[in-house]
Chains A and B, each alone.
Chain A
Amino acid sequence: MSVAGPTGWVGRSIRRLEDPALIAGRGRFTADLPAAHRVRFVRSQHAAGRIANIATPPGVLVITAADLKDVKPIRPMLHKFDYVPIGQPVLATDRVRFVGEAIAAVVAADEAAAEDAADAVEVEIAPADAVIDAQAALADGAPRVHDEVAGNVIVKGLIETPEFAAARAGADRLVRVALRSGRQNATPLETRGGHAAYDPTSGRVTLTCATQTPHLTRTAIADLLGLPEAQLRVIAPDVGGGFGQKMSLPPEYVLLVWLARKLQSSVAWSEDRRENLIAAFHSRDQHITLEGGFDRDGKLVSLSADVTANIGAYSCFPTTCAVEPLMAMAELPGPYDVRGYRCSARGVLTHTCPMAPYRGVSRPVITCAIERLMDRAAASFGMEPSELRRRNLIDRFPYVSATGLTFDEASYIETMELAVKHIDLAQFRARQKQARNEVRYLGIGFCTFSERTGYGTPAFAARGMEITPGWETVEIVIDPSGFVEARIGSSPHGQGLRTTLAQIIADEIGVEPRLIRVVHGDTDRTPYGFGTFASRSLVIAGGASLLAARKVRVKLAKIAGHLLEASADDIVLEAGVAKVAGTDRALPIESLARAAYHQLHRFRDEIEPGIAESATYDPPGTFANACHVAIVEVDPETGRVTLEKFLAAEDAGRIINPMIVDGQIHGGIAQGIANALLEEIVYDATGNVLTTTLADFLPPTAREIPPIELHHLETMSEATITRAKGVGEGGAIGAPAAVLNAVNDAIAPFGAEINEMPATPRRIRAALRAAEKRP
């Protein structure tokens, strides 16, 4: 792509093409589809136990595991790191392993009848001892969640670089931090849900569902039911947010397809919020202890970490539950230059809801851990936190990290300098001092981080994943009327990809974005692809779009060259027209398309009929980066944290659509703030979820989110062909650390410290009460 495309759509904040329908209430979501039957799941009220009996009310169709003998359990696979494969039955067979696990499916004519019938199903469970906390699950003699997994450790990794021991021994000082992150739920506005319809003519089933991964969903369900994939079509219609929760396979969707085939009819399930909070995938819940060795100048020379990830009762498909601990191990050093590194990471089974990726995946927690370490070290050196970071951030590229990752060109120091400048650090420190004299406690927190995005095949293969989702394919088709359609394997659900991909394509083929329809989320209509997650779609599907558009461009030029009797090299495509450069000879793209389909004889066998080009892109991966800053005030009497301001200076390479990038960062920051201060799934000691409504599990409202100021740098890294890096997760990765550091800065005069997320007012008060020192 040339730096400014021929018509220059890239880089412009054009309005999102997906919005008019959504804003007018004409979106089409899974729950909008009528179905002959509604399904309600009966769920376990015990965290652990044996199913003794299931008594079903007369006259109601109730499906249990006994009916599903021909359905395989979900058994995601990883080939490294001592991973022990475990199976998750679609409906619990003899044992239950978490509160909320589906035991039976009740089928009725409507939702209300299904709920009544589900209430009438009596499940008798002989309860067994449950382990809820990862530390408890690791204790000697702890009950095993799965018989085949001794000690409940399902995956473990250990890495130690040759330089580690000597570097640690030679360190001037060792700084430690132990960080705990509570458990969260991604809480998409639309909960999960599926609609499976049987077509008696073809015998096929169409599953319409709230998913981020339609093709993988088809693969998984076809495998589990023993069907050829061709017998199944998966559609992701409008999807109301996913954040990772909708990238993992819900057992419920498997049941729906099985049931549609059995009944030869249509069946639907809409998850309610309570089910979502107890039984849709959870996330975070990690415990990290870190020790950093620093030389006399504050340079980090050694880093050692111990990561314990509570992964819940089952392993999620397709990534497996290893995604959290292994990503922690590979990426914990973040953007800091350190050669001596040691990390041990474990995934631990407990009798809790299974964990799955959630925006940021592990990095919100590891970033918070290392950023707390940096702040503690800065305090120990009596240095500004930003100064200590300046001494440690990577500034040579490409940089190969201690764990073997190649960092492409980025702007770690530059974004931090930009943030320090715009937040006016010196002025803040003066204000903070003044406020303390007035018994008010302000704090500032920085977070500098890297966000690995656009993971290609090798990145996932390094983890030994059976399914390595690296590449994406895009097919661009121009129909005889000249209308452009781009069919993509990615599956956007709020990211604005229909707009941004159209912008990329527009610049290549000289057609306005609004005349380019990006088709996604239908396995019958799109090339195989992995979906939208891991900040990958703009990088990977965007790269594939660019490659396919270039092919289309070449073909259009060739056709135009023929028709206009000029060399293809002299053809310029812009504003929907192909013209011979420097002349007024021109043809609209529509005429080129007509000719390609209907007048093939004019091209003397030199072109294939029609206009349809396809390309695949599989990048090495690229690191976006940012510096986040939070300013807070802590009320020491109540522990309340008020966010005064949030600022982020970020660099995601070339920005395709600034408005969309800002939106991604705003949303991520809001979720990061929620991580740091508000949202927590709480279990009691026996494994009941205590946070089953949005009055207990607390997503922020607009009132809890401060003004957010954004600044952008655009490092044109060679790592991707569009020069764009991913930006989907950064907001959520950086915000927790910035907020937690700010809270700690505010309460430092009390000698108090908090290293637990969410830093709730109760926990902050407890930390203050515990601190002996008073200001």
Chain B
Amino acid sequence: MLGEYAAEDGRILAGGQSLVPTMAFRLAKPAHLIDINGIAALEKLNVENGSLSIGACVRHAAFHRPALAGPLGALLTTVVHHIAHYPIRLRGTFCGSLAHADPASEWCLVAATVGADITAISTRGTRTIAAADFFAGIMTTALAEDELLARVNLPVLSRDTRFGFCEFSRRAGDYAIAMTLATLRLEGGAIVDPRVGVGGAEAFPRRIPEAEAALAGRAPNEAVLRAAADAAAHAIDPLEDIQADAAYRRDLVRAMTRRALARACA
């Protein structure tokens, strides 16, 4: 159906928590809506071949409690409570968040940081896009108009992976002005495999290699974490809006990154 209607401004309707408000503001006026709610095949949430597979109809609320044992489940549960408000979490979907690609989407940050694989299907076939190649700009992605984002696969994190998440928003439930998700392991007192993802601060969430470089192989002490936080603050190309100018966004990225790292190392 999408293949048929995409060319005539047909759009997928998932949880509707972004699309419907946009329509209410008359910013989007799709000619056709294709409702994917109720398609059982898209409701799957399971672990297969070392990754957590999240179908297109899996709601945010599915992560209110850990969806799997271990650090990934805990990470998703920590993060989900920062997304909007309870009623919105009951309807909004994980995959819809990725398709919508708001710069401040928590799930987009998770996908970018842990390295999600995103599966898109269309009448032309199925393809898998790496998170690093998926986001293209503010609310723009590598998805073609006729593609359905069918599922997202998140690699299951090893048992010894530690994570830290920290977000700043004006009110409880508001979109983040800046947030950082960090994952790492500690081996012999040194940081191994650090991943530092920053969201809400740039056009789309991404890992910050400068911050990761400042951590790798070093001891998780205050000075090292601060250096990594400073590196992240410098590395970003900050969005500017009424809530935050560039200087303030850098301040926040510095603070969120240091705190996320401190939590990961605690």
B5 adjacent to chain A (CB < 8 Å): no
Q: Binary interface profile of A, 671-689, with partner B (CB < 8 Å = 1, else 0)?
A: 0000000100010000000
Find out whether the CB atom of A701 lies under 8 angstroms from the CB atom of B245.
no
Total inter-chain residue pairs, C-beta < 8 Å: 51
Complex CA distance for A115 and B25, rounded to whole angstroms: 11
| Contact assessment for B26 and A115 in the assembled complex, using a CB-CB cutoff below 8 Å | yes
Tell me whether A762 is interfacial, beta carbon within 8 Å.
Answer: yes
CA of A472 to CA of B26 in the docked complex: distance in angstroms?
A: 46
Encode B85-111 as 1/0 by CB contact (under 8 A) with A: 000000000000000000000000000
A698 touches B26 (CB 8 A): no
Asked whether any CB of chain A lies closer than 8 Å to the CB of B49, the reply is: no
A701, B171: Cβ atoms closer than 8 Å: yes
B255 within 8 A of A: yes
Of B60-68, B140-148, B172-180, B201-209, which binds chain A? Answer: B172-180
**Does B251 count as interface, using CB distance less than 8 angstroms?**
yes
Complex Cα spacing A640 to B252, Å: 10
Q: Does A274 interact with chain B (Cβ within 8 Å)?
A: yes
Contacts of B242 in A (CB 8 A): 682, 690-691, 696
Partner of A762, one of B26, B172, B245: B245
Contacts of B173 in A (CB 8 A): 701, 703
A678 and B171 within 8 A (CB): yes
Is B254 an interface residue when CB atoms closer than 8 A count as contact?
yes
- In the bound assembly, the distance between CA atoms of A765 and B173 in angstroms comes to 22
Interface flag for B244 (CB, 8 Å): yes
Q: Does A765 lie within 8 Å of B168, measured CB to CB?
A: no
Q: Is A638 an interface residue (CB 8 A)?
A: yes
Among candidates A691, A695, A701, A760, residue contacting B175 with C-beta atoms closer than 8 Å: A695
Query: Contact between B170 and A769 (Cβ–Cβ < 8 Å)?
Result: no
- By beta carbon, the residue of chain B nearest A762 is B248
Complex alpha-carbon distance, A766 and B250, angstroms = 12
Complex contact A698–B171 (CB within 8 A): yes
Whether B247 is near chain A, meaning CB under 8 Å from some CB there, is: yes
Are A698 and B255 closer than 8 Å at their CB atoms?
A: no
What per-residue 1/0 map shows which CB atoms of A421-457 lie under 8 Å from chain B?
0000000000000000000000000000000000000
Name the interface residues of B217-266: CB closer than 8 Å to any CB of A: 242-245, 247-248, 251-252, 254-255
Q: Are A638 and B170 in contact (CB under 8 A)?
A: no
Let me know if A638 and B168 touch, CB within 8 A: yes
- Chain A residues 274-330 with CB under 8 Å of chain B are 274
A700 at the interface (CB under 8 A from B): yes
User: Whole-angstrom distance from the CB of B5 to the nearest CB of chain A?
Assistant: 22
- Cα distance A760–B168 when bound, in Å? 13
Contact indicator A698/B170 (Cβ below 8 Å)? yes
Nearest chain A residue, comparing its CB with the CB of B170:
A698
Q: Is A703 a contact of B248 with CB atoms below 8 Å?
A: no
Select the residue from A274, A704, A760, A761 with max chain B CB neighbours within 10 A.
A761
One of A119, A638, A690 near B255 (C-beta < 8 A): A638
Q: Which B residues are CB-close (under 8 A) to A119?
A: 26
C-alpha gap A700/B171 in the complex (Å): 7
A637 CB-CB contact with B under 8 Å: yes
CB-based contact B171/A762 at 8 Å: no
Which residues of B lie under 8 Å from residue A690 when comparing CB positions? 242
Tell me whether B254 and A761 are in contact (CB under 8 A): no
Q: Are B171 and A765 in contact (CB under 8 A)?
A: no
Which residue of chain A has the shortest Cβ distance to B178 in the bound complex? Answer: A638
| Chain A residue at smallest Cβ distance from B21 | A693
A762 touches B244 (CB 8 A): yes
Q: Which residues of B have CB within 8 Å of A701?
A: 171-173
Instruction: Chain A residues near B252: list those with CB within 8 A.
Output: 638
Our pick among B168, B243, B245 for the contact of A640 (Cβ within 8 Å) is: B168
Q: What 1/0 mask marks residues of chain A from 109 to 137 whose CB sits below 8 Å from any chain B CB? A: 00000010001000000000000000000
What residues of chain A lie closer than 8 Å to B175, measured between beta carbons?
Answer: 695
Q: Which of A115, A635, A696, A765 contacts B248 (CB 8 A)?
A: A765
- Taking Cβ atoms with an 8 Å cutoff, the residues of A that contact B are 115, 119, 274, 635, 637-640, 678, 682, 690-691, 693, 695-696, 698, 700-701, 703-704, 760-762, 765-766, 769
Leading 4 A-B pairs by shortest Cβ distance:
A703-B172, A637-B255, A762-B248, A682-B242
Q: Return 18 A-B CB contacts under 8 Å, by A number.
A: A274-B25, A638-B168, A638-B252, A639-B248, A639-B251, A640-B168, A678-B170, A678-B171, A690-B242, A695-B174, A696-B242, A698-B170, A700-B171, A701-B172, A760-B170, A760-B243, A762-B245, A765-B248
